[in-house]
């Protein structure tokens, strides 16, 4: 590259940085200038997904990425409840792209808002593509409204599992999968044509747990019998009048009609984004005492550095990045405790153990509270095992203590295509990871021994962290995934709750009164603005990939690892709608 293009690129990046910073500052100044008027109503829009990590505002605004992180969302709801200037809230809910644990945390925040005595209204904008999760959130409100053309707010839960075993037969590929133990069914997706008995048992147990949580929450807040809720769900799509007769909604009206009813003909409500920008400082807010670090472990566990996909999607939890974060926190005397926020289906067994060691070492210096988001399974649970205390939502996918490995032999497929691969080796095990050969009996013996070692080490790490013996961990392990509610019954989780529950646990462990506020310091540290701009501009196109392709990439997570990698990866991505 010549010097002129380099100068041009630097100038472009500098200009973009200036635009981002100036735009952010202008918005902040304008919002702060207007402030929050007394008797304000806040309109909170809930739709799509929310990235775990705290928003890096200037860059995200510049690139058009979502401005609200999951924590930002929870804090906005909490502050609106505590803010004397806010009279009430309307939550407009459209189709969401989050897991059940995040939905439960949002619902918990809405319930807390409602407990302040301020009115909370839910406005559901759903068609047949809407789902039970959205109604689950709406049921936390005092009143539920839908427009006349809406339908089907609750239709039950559906879990779908894909099996590719029949594909390999047609392609003449020998897909070899080794797993420890029987519930470690990620490999089944690659090698089988349908569910095994163990997989079906586990899947039914997960559905039963989540369905019970859904029905019980709706029944409690809508003051209905659980049997009546199940009957309404089984009845399927319903008209607004039928929904009202069933007690599932209160009114049918358009949003502007609801606005007039609540704030008057000339009244307006404040958007949640504008409220979030203008709300601080809150009147009579308690002083901050002490600091708590929040370390994010998001995405598949890998060696090397963490990667962040667009809007938090396709992220990875890199061992080097997490080790650096834990070391920085351990050395900072101003930090009283740590919350390790995990949202990961697992990944590399080696990387999981490296992160485990850094977390274990940090735990010797200050309390480590683990907060589990939608998923903290397999390697995601491995890295959480050192926690002084583990907090999970009832719907968190957790556990999956097991090991899996997959390797295809594509010699037959290559032959059909007229491709011939010639290999030469020195050493009996040299061809072990070749995709042109199947495992020999001797290789299988050695690989299984290695995987047994990893599994035993996994059991040992969990047993040490949880105060159990290895036999007890094995009983609830064997690759099985549990909901957070089930995991608590099995001793894998200490307490049910979300992020704020974990923060309170961190305060208690550090000797800070729960009613006091603490400053949050986020890790891993963001890179410099120029480095982030360069990287983000290079990855922006990834966000344009069709949703179906992004789902394929998530479903085939194991394929990002080299053939023969020993993985602590949960059986499959389980999306239950």
State the catalytic residues: 378
Residue 191's contacts (CB-CB under 8 Å, 6 or more residues apart) are 164, 165, 168, 175, 176, 177, 406
- Give the Cα separation of 111 and 117 in Å (integer): 10
Residue 493's contacts (CB-CB under 8 Å, 6 or more residues apart) are 372, 390, 391, 392, 396, 398, 484, 487
Q: What are phi and psi of 352, to 5 degrees?
A: -60, -40
- Give the Cα separation of 371 and 357 in Å (integer): 18
- Give the Cα separation of 27 and 33 in Å (integer): 10
Closest to 17 (Cα-Cα) out of 522, 539, 531: 531
List, in sequence order, every residue forming a beta bridge with 146; answer none if it has no partner: 252
Q: Parallel, antiparallel, or unpaired for β 335-344 and 368-377? A: parallel
For residue 200, say if its preceding peptide bond is cis, omega within 30 degrees of 0: no
Q: What is 282-294 written as a DSSP string?
A: PTTPPPEEEEEEE
Closest to 105 (Cα-Cα) out of 36, 162, 52, 170: 52
Q: Parallel, antiparallel, or unpaired for β 300-302 and 316-318? A: parallel
- Give the Cα separation of 516 and 288 in Å (integer): 7
Quote the tokens at residue 246: 């069933």
In terms of Cβ atoms closer than 10 Å to its own Cβ (0-12, 13-18, 19+), residue 187 is buried
Residue 475 in 3-state DSSP? helix
């Amino acid at each position: 590259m010549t010097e002129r293009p380099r100068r041009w690129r630097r100038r472009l990046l500098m200009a973009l940085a200036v635009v981002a910073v100036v735009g952010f500052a202008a918005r902040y100044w304008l919002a702060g200038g207007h402030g929050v008027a007394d008797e304000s109503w806040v309109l909170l829009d809930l739709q799509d997904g929310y990235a775990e990590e705290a928003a890096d505002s200037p860059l995200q605004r510049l690139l058009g990425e979502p401005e609200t992180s999951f924590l930002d969302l929870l804090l906005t709801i909490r502050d609106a409840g505590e803010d004397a200037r806010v009279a009430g809230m309307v939550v407009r809910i459209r189709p969401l792209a989050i897991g059940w644990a995040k939905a439960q945390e949002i619902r918990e925040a809405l319930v807390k808002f409602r407990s302040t005595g301020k009115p909370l209204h839910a406005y559901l904008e759903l068609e047949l593509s809407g789902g039970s999760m959205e109604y689950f959130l709406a049921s936390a409100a005092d009143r539920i409204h839908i427009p006349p053309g809406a339908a089907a707010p609750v239709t039950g839960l559906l879990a779908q599992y894909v099996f590719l075993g029949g594909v390999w037969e047609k392609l003449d590929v020998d897909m070899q999968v080794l797993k420890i133990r029987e519930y470690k069914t990620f490999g089944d997706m690659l090698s089988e044509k349908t569910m095994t008995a163990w997989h079906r048992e586990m899947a039914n147990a997960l559905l039963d747990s989540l369905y019970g949580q859904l029905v019980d929450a709706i029944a409690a807040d809508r003051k209905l019998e659980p049997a009546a809720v199940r009957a309404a769900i089984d009845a399927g799509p319903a008209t607004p009048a039928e929904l009202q007769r069933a007690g599932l909604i209160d009114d049918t009206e358009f949003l502007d009609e609801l606005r007039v009813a609540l704030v008057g003909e000339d009244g307006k409500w404040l958007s949640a984004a504008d409220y979030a920008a203008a709300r601080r400082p809150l009147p009579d807010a308690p002083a901050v005492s002490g600091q708590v670090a929040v370390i994010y472990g998001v995405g598949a566990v890998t060696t090397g550095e963490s990667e962040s996909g667009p809007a938090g999607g396709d992220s990875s939890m890199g061992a080097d990045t997490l080790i650096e974060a834990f070391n920085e926190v351990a050395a900072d005397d101003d930090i009283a405790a740590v919350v390790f926020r995990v949202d990961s289906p697992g990944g590399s067994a080696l990387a999981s153990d490296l992160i485990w060691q850094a977390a274990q070492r940090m735990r010797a210096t200050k309390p480590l509270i683990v907060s589990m988001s939608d998923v903290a399974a397999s390697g995601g649970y491995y890295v959480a095992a050192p926690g002084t205390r583990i907090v999970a939502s009832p719907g968190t996918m957790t556990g999956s203590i097991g090991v899996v490995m997959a390797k295809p032999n594509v010699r037959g497929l290559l032959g059909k295509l007229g491709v011939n691969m010639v290999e030469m080796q020195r050493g009996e095990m040299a061809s072990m990871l070749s995709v042109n050969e199947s495992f020999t009996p001797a290789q299988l013996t050695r690989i299984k021994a290695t995987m047994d070692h990893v599994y035993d080490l996994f059991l040992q790490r969990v047993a040490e962290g949880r105060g159990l013996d290895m036999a007890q961990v094995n009983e609830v392990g064997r690759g099985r995934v549990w909901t957070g509610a089930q995991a608590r019954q099995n001793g894998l989780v200490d307490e049910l709750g979300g992020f704020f529950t974990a923060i309170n646990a961190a305060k208690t462990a550090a000797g800070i009164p729960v009613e006091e506020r603490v400053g949050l310091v986020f890790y891993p540290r963001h890179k410099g603005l120029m480095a982030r701009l360069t990287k983000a501009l290079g990855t922006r196109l990834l966000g344009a990939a069709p949703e179906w392709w992004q789902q394929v990439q998530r479903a085939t997570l194991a394929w990002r690892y080299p053939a023969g990698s020993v993985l602590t990866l949960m059986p499959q991505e389980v999306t239950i709608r």
